[in-house]
Each structure stands twice: as structure tokens, then as C-alpha cells.
């Protein structure tokens, strides 16, 4: 089943189960970002900013050192508390053997603490890199970091989720849904950035882009 179908099912569940007030706040914020006129995220014309982030066991992972080994699929997700993120990451995990076969490497980044990333990695049995981006420094360099308005903070608090505590930061911030496919020269070959967190890049598109990169590299 395509990721879109699974995400649509999750959205239907959210609409059925979530209180009407919470739904209104969530969909209001998505609409405000879509209509803001702001161009979110880096594009295919940009170089990928380098970074070094910490993995759940304290390991240091550097983007350009990973790129020396092959193209990187860099995906930013909201956190292990987000069911839409979990659908995406599980789908990418299933596609991981094909990604590796094409020389690719998958890195997932969130603002959550390393402890929460470790729990997430173990629970979902993720075998790719799951890194923590304290205070959203890297997300900001990719132009996808945003501050949650007060009304949305209230909505999350009503669900019992305090992002400042979960992410161990003093700001209510999150990254937009974003996946960047980066070639070994550090060029962004495909950028998917969407204010609607209920939508994600399909795994097949990742495979298609890796094939294009491989074909270009072999010429």
C-alpha cells in the first residue's frame, strides 16, 4: 500500500477521534502556513548545508562524511509522538534494502531528545540513522523550522504533549515535513517540503531519484 493511502487512513482516524476544537486548531495552522506566501525549505538549486548531529547512543554523524559513501536521503520528522511520522519512517524502513542497493544512505532528523530518539528507534525497529537536532539548528539551516502559535501550543497541551519537555528545549518549535535527496557533491537533487504534515514523499520517488543519480554518476 502506498504511503499516501496509509496517511489518508490516519487522517480519517484523526478526524473521527480528535476533539473538534483540536482539529480546527491543527487545520487552521496548516492553512495559515500554506497561505502565508513564505517559501519554505531549500530547493533543487541549493547546496545541502553540512552538519554534525548526535545519534541516540552518542555517536557523531556528519552529513558530508556520509555523502562520501553515497547519496543521502535526509528526512525531517516531527517526533515519535506523531503517527504520520511513524507511518513514513516504517515505510522508509521497508524500502531501506532497495535504498542501500542503490548506494543510498537514509538519515532521519527530529528535534526530540536523544533518549526519545533511542526509544523510537528501538520501538519501530529502525536500522537507519535517527539523529537529534537540539533547538532545531539544522532544521533552521534547511529553512523548515517554525514556531508554534499559542493556540496550537494549547492544542498540543490538551493532548498531554509539552514539546519543550519532549524536545528538552525552551521553545515551541517543530520542523516542517521535509525530505531532501542529496547527491555525493552535496547538491539537493529533490526537495519535498510541505506545511501539511499529513503528507510525505513516497518511497518510490526516493528510489526513482537514486536511480537517476546513479545513472548520472556512471556517465
| Res. 1 pLDDT band, cuts 50 70 90 | low
Contacts (Cβ under 8 Å, ≥6 apart) of 94: 203
Helix axis angle, 20-34 relative to 150-158, nearest 10°?
140
Residue 158 banded pLDDT, cuts 50, 70, 90:
confident
DSSP designation for 58:
S
**What CA–CA distance (Å, rounded) separates 67 from 52?**
12
d(CA 17, CA 176): 24
pLDDT of 115 reads 87
Supply the pLDDT for residue 131.
Answer: 96
The x, y and z cell numbers of residue 205, run together, are 520517488
pLDDT at residue 70 tops 70: yes
Does 90 score more than 90 pLDDT? yes
In tens, the pLDDT along 118-145 reads 888 989 999 999 999 989 999 999 999 9
Which pTM was predicted?
Answer: 0.95
Domain 3-38+47-218 superfamily per CATH:
Glutaredoxin (3.40.30.10)
Residue 102: pLDDT over 80: yes
Which are the contacts of 194, defined by CB distance < 8 A and separation ≥ 6? Answer: 176, 177, 178, 200
Residue 166 neighbours by CB distance under 10 Å: 17
Least confident of 4-13, 76-85, 91-100, 156-165: 156-165
Measured distance CA(133)–CA(190) in Å, rounded: 22
Terminal-to-terminal C-alpha distance of the chain: 34
Chain segment 173-201, per-residue pLDDT in tens: 999 999 999 999 999 999 999 999 999 99
To the nearest whole number, what is the mean pLDDT of the chain?
93
Q: Where are the domains of the chain?
A: 3-38+47-218
The C-alpha cell that represents 148 in the structure block:
508554534
Amino acid at each position: 500500500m502506498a504511503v499516501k493511502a496509509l496517511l489518508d487512513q490516519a487522517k480519517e482516524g484523526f478526524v473521527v477521534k480528535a476533539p473538534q476544537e483540536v482539529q480546527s486548531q491543527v487545520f487552521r495552522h496548516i492553512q495559515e502556513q500554506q497561505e502565508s506566501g513564505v517559501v519554505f525549505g531549500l530547493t533543487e538549486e541549493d547546496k545541502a548545508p553540512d552538519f554534525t548531529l548526535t545519534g541516540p547512543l552518542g555517536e557523531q554523524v556528519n552529513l558530508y562524511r556520509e555523502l562520501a559513501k553515497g547519496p543521502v536521503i535526509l528526512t525531517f520528522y516531527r517526533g515519535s509522538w506523531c503517527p504520520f511520522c511513524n507511518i513514513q519512517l516504517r515505510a522508509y524502513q521497508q524500502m531501506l534494502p532497495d535504498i542501500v542497493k542503490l548506494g543510498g544512505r537514509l538519515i532521519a532528523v527530529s528535534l526530540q531528545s536523544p533518549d526519545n530518539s533511542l526509544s523510537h528507534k528501538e520501538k519501530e525497529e529502525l536500522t537507519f540513522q535517527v539523529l537529534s537536532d537540539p533547538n532545531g539548528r539544522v532544521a533552521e539551516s534547511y529553512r523548515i523550522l517554525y514556531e508554534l502559535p499559542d493556540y496550537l501550543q494549547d492544542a498540543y497541551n490538551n493532548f498531554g504533549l509539552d514539546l519543550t519537555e519532549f524536545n528538552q528545549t525552551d521553545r515551541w518549535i517543530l520542523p516542517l515535513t521535509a525530505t531532501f535527496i542529496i547527491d555525493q557533491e552535496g547538491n539537493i537533487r529533490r526537495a519535498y517540503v510541505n506545511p501539511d504534515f499529513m503528507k510525505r514523499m513516497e518511497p518510490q520517488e526516493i528510489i526513482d531519484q537514486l536511480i537517476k543519480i546513479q545513472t548520472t554518476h556512471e556517465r
